[in-house]
Amino acid sequence: MYPRAQAWRAPVVFCLVLVACAALSACGTSSTASSTTRSSARGTTQAIVKGGTAYFAEQPETPPNYIFPLISGAYFTVENTADFQSLLYEPLYWFGDQGKTSIDYSLSVGNAPVYSDHDRVVTITLKHYVWSDGEVVSARDVIFWINLLKANAADWASYVPGGFPDNVV
């Protein structure tokens, strides 16, 4: 009986070692980065990688299914907005600063706004930030987004009549 009990140990140990090796090999990285870099609003510098495969972790049965940032109520899910689009489109202003309800300007694409003319005019300057293709994010990009929202406010899930973008002239 004792020799039979040990007969199953060798295959089990082999399988455990095989699983451990597979897990450790998954921790490694390999990429061919070019010599150009990209800086983000978060102050980090990343190498731009030509080609390759992008990996995105998600919860089971909850894949993101909408890529455009003007999102209707039908696609307004945590997976699409918080888990996916926040990785694609850096926010002009990053809300929340170490658990407080404020704006974290160090993570934001825009600098702190400057108010003038009795708070009727707001000037926003942008930090140096680039799209994934290397093009600089400009004021035209921000105006395009605001005009897109104005033209499609009824189809935007975050729209509140009288709020943004209605209150922008």
Look at residue 5 and tell me whether its pLDDT is greater than 60. no
pLDDT at 12 over 60: no
Sign of the dihedral through C-alpha 55, 56, 60, 64: negative
**116 near 126, Cβ under 8 Å?**
no
Share of the chain above pLDDT 70, in %: 72
Tell me, yes or no, if the pTM score tops 0.75: no
User: pLDDT per residue over 42-93, tens digit each?
Assistant: 556 667 777 888 777 777 888 888 888 888 999 998 888 887 887 788 889 9
Looking at residue 169, its pLDDT comes to 83
121-150 pLDDT tens trace: 999 999 998 888 899 999 999 999 999 999
CA distance 37 to 48: 5
pLDDT given for residue 61 in this prediction: 82
Ranges assigned E (strand) in the chain: 33-39, 45-49, 95-97, 100-103, 114-116, 121-123
Measured on CA atoms in the order 129, 47, 135, 65, is the torsion positive or negative?
Answer: negative
Closest to 147 in 3D by CA, of 166, 160, 126: 166
Percent of the chain surpassing pLDDT 90: 30
- pLDDT number for residue 34: 43
